[in-house]
Amino acid sequence: MKKEEGVSKYKLNRIATEALRNAIRLHFDSILLYENGSFPSAFQLSVLALEEFSKANWVDHYIWTSETNEGYEDAEFEQGWLKLLYLHPAKQWNFVARETDDYSPNFVSLIQNRQLEEKKQNSIYVGLSRAKGKIDADSRISTPWRIKQKDARQVISIINDELLRICRRIEEDEFYFEGGKDMDDVFDYEIYKKILKWPHKSGLKNDGWRKRNLQRN
pLDDT in tens, 69-99: 989 999 999 999 999 999 999 999 999 999 9
**E strand or H helix at 167:** helix 149-173
Q: Which whole number is the average pLDDT over 165-188?
A: 95
Q: Is 111 helix (H, G, I), strand (E, B) or coil?
A: helix
CA dist 82 and 98 (Å) reads 19
Q: What is the pLDDT of residue 132?
A: 78
Q: Is 156 helix (H, G, I), strand (E, B) or coil?
A: helix
CA dist 4 and 72 (Å) reads 8
Q: Is 34 helix (H, G, I), strand (E, B) or coil?
A: helix
Nearest to 184 by CA among 56, 68, 49, 78: 56
Q: What is the pLDDT of residue 33?
A: 98
Q: What is the pLDDT of residue 133?
A: 80
Band (pLDDT 50/70/90 cuts) for residue 185 is very high
Is the pLDDT at 37 greater than 80, yes or no?
yes
**Beta-strand runs (E) in the chain:** 130-131, 134-135
Instruction: Determine the distance from the C-alpha atom of residue 164 to the mean position of all C-alpha atoms in its chain, rounded to a whole number.
Output: 14
Nearest to 94 by CA among 62, 54, 59: 54
CA dist 105 and 6 (Å) reads 37
Q: Pairing state of beta strands 130-131 and 134-135?
A: antiparallel
Mean pLDDT for the chain overall: 95
- Helix residue ranges, H only, the chain: 9-35, 39-68, 75-84, 88-97, 105-112, 115-122, 149-173, 189-197, 207-216
181 or 130, higher pLDDT: 181
C-beta of residue 99 within 8 angstroms of C-beta of residue 80: no
CA dist 118 and 108 (Å) reads 14
Output the CA torsion sign for 21, 59, 208, 165: negative
CA dist 32 and 202 (Å) reads 18
Q: Where are the domains of the chain?
A: 9-216
Q: What is the pLDDT of residue 4?
A: 82
